[in-house]
Amino acid sequence: MKISNLSIKNNLFLAPMAGVTDRPFRMLCKSFGAGVAVSEMVTSNSLLYGSEKTKRRADHEGEVDPISVQIAGADPKMMADAAKYNKDNGAQIIDINMGCPAKKICNVMAGSALLKNEKLVHDIVHSVVNSVDIPVTLKIRTGWDKDNRNALKIAQIAEDAGIKALSIHGRTRACLYKGNAEYDTIASVKQSISIPVIANGDITSPEKAKYVLDYTQADAVMIGRAAQGRPWIFREIEYYLKTGKHLELPTVNEIHITTIKHVKDLYSFYGEERGLRVARKHISWYTKGLKNSAQFRASMNKIEGCGEQINAINFYFEELKEISAFIPYEELQITSKMVPA
């Protein structure tokens, strides 16, 4: 597919997730087949441009194109300035956040709170689009609550302003992540505008990805929480969409190698002390569902040294591989030894 003048290798997107889609995770998901990996949201407050967090979030060194950076805020001029700042720092796509349901974002009238104010939506998208010469995309929800689903109106505002693609999460802001995503609104939006539409929400398997694409006629799907601890979901979906068949699940050995590589990349990106703490949640996601993983995670959370963390990961996976090196991890029915604390 294409977003304006940018060719995307497929129609699979990694959703922006605060605290998750940092550079190491984006690069990992791209290596497993994600066509676009959107960054964590970057503040539009210029006073924070020099903060360590903002500088990390704007760090794209070594990342495969395209570089998509999400910006968040509620002031049109500040959002335009943030778009220019990130474009100057390597962004090839600017994504506007009007989808985040988090209270700390909505309390300052940013994220999905903006959906309540269509005039402000109009002013922000026009300001950002006019500030940069690269494609601008928009991420929204279906509306503020179930009685106020205005995605159709927002989509029309976005297209008229020059937004080049629209991502829609199939829940309202009030729904947060509860209940099931609905795709009727996404299908209606797709029928009403001509720019690419990316469907998001509860896409957890190759079959679900195909179903959502078929049902909504969307141009692409966006994967969020389902990629946590499972970055290979992108290659699984891509293969299934092309062949109608399932790709073999990753072996214990591949999960082991992926986990170690990811953890070491986190040490390098954040520094060892911070990287060790960030790594804990990813290690937890990689091992979810494996035998004795709860015990493993409990011991992992007590570890305070990077070398010890790596050793514990190696010990855990080597115990699994001694029993079966080739059975996909979801089929393992074994009992591993307790990882030493």
Encoded tokens for 239 = 């293969």
Which contacts (CB < 8 Å, 24+ apart) does range 222-228 have?
A: 222/13, 222/14, 222/15, 222/167, 222/198, 223/12, 223/13, 223/14, 223/15, 223/34, 224/14, 224/15, 224/17, 224/200, 225/17, 225/177, 227/14, 227/15, 227/29, 227/34, 228/17, 228/20, 228/282, 228/285
The Cα 19–Cα 5 span in angstroms is 30
Helix axes 76-88, 118-131, angle to 10 degrees: 30
Q: Which residue has the tokens 């979810």?
A: 288
Task: Exactly one of 29, 100, 106, 175 is catalytic; name it.
Answer: 100
The residue among 212, 205, 210 whose CA lies nearest residue 241 is 210
Q: Which residues pair with 43 in a beta bridge?
A: 72
Encoded tokens for 319 = 């115990």
Q: Has 29 been annotated as catalytic?
A: no
H/E stretch holding 126 reads helix 118-131
Q: From the CB of residue 328, how many other CB atoms can be counted at a distance below 10 Å?
A: 14
- Number of alpha helices (DSSP H) and beta strands (DSSP E) in the chain: 13, 10
CB 169 within 8 A of CB 140: yes
CA 40 to chain centre: 8
Active site residues: 100
